Structure 1
């Protein structure tokens, strides 16, 4: 059975002077009606999708929505409540009775006027050669609407696009975000593992001596933090708008940095025929106790995003990935295996109290992670010993 990796491909819509108002009005209309459906769901205790459809479908049709679009609006609302309840059960909105949780439970889910609206193939069709789309709007079907994207993105769309596509507006610009299912490459048997130590001072350090320094990113975040503080003091509408713009800009910058790092690590593993060993850091923010300045750095640390990027790029390339326990990787000597808290002299210096090895602390940790990855892979493989007759 061939498995696939789900990725999203974003293209920019380029509507003309007549098409742009129709697209904007469509988004505002469907999200306004989604807010009405959300109120109905809230009053009725967020029923199942079929029951919610019974309460709302006829009214949505009366407001001029097509059958498919009305179904998507109802499903979007139902999915939003499913996500809300999952976050509540997981404790992501605080403990029972907390202010944040009470606020989330006391009012209906709301949608911004520019929020994403899903489209299926009945509401949206693609003409790849002409780089145009035909899309449903409240003003009727709009044909020959141009879109722009890179040649690589166009190739992925042509070969692997499957499922729904979201229409979204950001800063007055319209985008289509399409789901693509890319087949995984066949996973090979690794000749050893590359250990990846994730951190804040150094974003990623590998056992092959590749190091992605976090100096530039940390300075960028510090500068953005100071600018946000200045804007927050103003409390004006323009300041709030600028805050949103800066927040999105910072997120894009961090995302691009993580993409570059992930691609470098996966390419090195594929070239050398090795696998990748990553630390299992889930829940680290709740496990560690830090001073206030350190908390800011920890909560800005996008280690989960970097890990996800490495995993999906590795799956596309057929590179094996294992997750290992990070316990004592920074205190254990990669040469003799001696574990001592005093071995970690400083953030960057590791000196073994047993054998005297001196090394960069992150490189030492990455080599320990590589060894653990090799052991985990060996332990997880199926036995090749013939069965006893």
Structure 2
């Protein structure tokens, strides 16, 4: 299912709690459960296409894919719920070296069935009497609001066991995805759901969308095109490339390089081996225990750095930079514009220190270290610390 097809369902996330289409949890329910199996000897990729539900993936020690599933459906009457349920069937089919798992919907399945359960606090909100056309699995549905009614809804639980090696490609609109102990490359998308990965080995992971993302104990590279509103990463061995826009991006214990582009929210980084490249807009960044180098570029954001020993190249427009305790880089370069730069201690280990503070405020520790002889001119002042030079431009300089 293409990501662009899901956009109409996700436009309402800020207002869905008021949707008149919420499911009545006390409505009659029908339920079915069964199992699917397929030989995976020649399979290179397993693709899972699901609209709404939970997915759990664990490893298998045999060359076979096994799917235990259950489907529950609410409707106005028990007979209607059972009739609609008969139109829904998980399908596991082979196409060359690919294995496809999707939820087939019969022609009699109404569009309203695609509406999510109230437990998600999500829905498809349209004004009274208005209609909207959406697509799912090559079918078009016209949705029309009916205030005061409860629409049918269904929910699918998938429990998969997969052998190592094959690529896993998962696309789902709403729901939670959990995977553990896998040795598989992963391509994941859950734009209105939660993804949780634990103890993955030899796994290169690509996440194109997730509302919440949690990864712990990961061996392999991680790429995040849309990291989600809340991201929690810990104990990662591999490189990370991420784009994040949301509330929180937290990363600890990384053995590898980090490239992060973030907008808004809070960024917490701890115990990184580096190198780190960080570009932020309107983000509050806290970084401590960095062994590698750091290239930081920010607009309207802030950086609080402590316990860093690698080379630092810091640039900030209209945002503070604070170098706290334990910052002793081999090289330090800071450029700031309309910003506050604060050094809480002198980084005496640095072979070269260069600070250019344009139209801002530079706060240095007092007293100044030995061999520091300020030279006042109309354009700039210089201060030499051992063999290192600190240069600043005064706040009223326009060049």
Normalised by the shorter chain, which TM-score bucket? under 0.3
Which structure has the bigger radius of gyration? 2
Q: Larger % of helix: which?
A: 1
Q: TM-score scaled by structure 2?
A: 0.25
Q: TM-score scaled by structure 1?
A: 0.25
**Greater RCO structure (CA 8 Å; 6+ sep):** 1
